[in-house]
Copies of this chain bind each other. A is one copy, B any other.
């Protein structure tokens, strides 16, 4: 993939009633965010929207105007409730039809498996005009790219195979580097010196993530910057800061 010096941003849209009902725990956002982050693309917002065309259109059009890339997952299967392709076509104001290359790939796949390529399966070849296909090495039915929007499957293994295949279509920016310094220390204690450290290094993003385990609070301090030397310097100061509070810090890579 190519790289750019500017900050490159993305949004993720997860499409499906099943996440909003609590039935399914989303497993895609974490993977997409981590994978993009490693390539210098920062996820700045994520939305979960229901299987309702107007809602999908609204989210896609808002987020594609706001960020460099938008990645969607879910709703591109053969059943009546899979309305993502039609919704994306509506968002872009383009017609949708059976894409010849998508039809050919699916025809070959089903022929080889001696499975009927029925009308429902042909639905998976419906692609908005001007879109380009995204390969699906797992189950063949392709995703697609239109403008800066990448439309992928919801099944995690299929989504992961799809996004891996589009790496060379993306331009990454400077990679955000991270480290963490954790300790069994209350946030109320670390807050003041951490605030001082943040004021000293405003160009470093500093987050404190509390946890509560076995009746004790701890905090994981995460530092992020694109500057490796600066990150090392801040990490050392954070280690000293935690030690000064009488706690032995646990240093990590921020993941």
Contact = CB atoms under 8 A, between A and B. Distances in A.
A189 B118 CA distance: 8
B46 A48 contact: yes
- In this complex, the member of A35, A139, A210 whose beta carbon has the largest number of chain B beta carbons within 10 angstroms is A210
B48 A20 contact: no
B29 A22 contact: yes
Interface string A1-27: 000000000000000111111111110
A198 interface: yes
A77 interface: yes
A45 B45 contact: no
A247 interface: no
Nearest to A141: B188
Nearest to A252: B23
- How many copies of the shown chain assemble into the complex? 2
A31 interface: yes
B119 A192 contact: yes
Contact of A209 (B18, B26, B32, B194): B18
A138 interface: yes
A245 interface: no
B55 A49 contact: no
Interface residues of A, number: 74
Nearest to A138: B212
A55 B18 CA distance: 26
Given A45-B47, A45-B49, A188-B78, A19 B23 contact: no
A204 to B, nearest CB: 12
Contacts of A33: 19-22
Contacts of A31: 22
A187 B78 contact: yes
A118 B207 CA distance: 20
A208 B76 CA distance: 11
Interface of A: 16-26, 29-35, 37, 42-51, 55, 77-82, 115, 118-121, 123-124, 138-139, 155, 157-158, 176, 178, 186-192, 194-195, 198, 205-212, 217, 219, 222, 224, 254-255
Given A21-B37, A77-B187, 8 more contacts: A19-B29, A20-B42, A22-B35, A26-B26, A45-B50, A47-B47, A81-B206, A120-B188
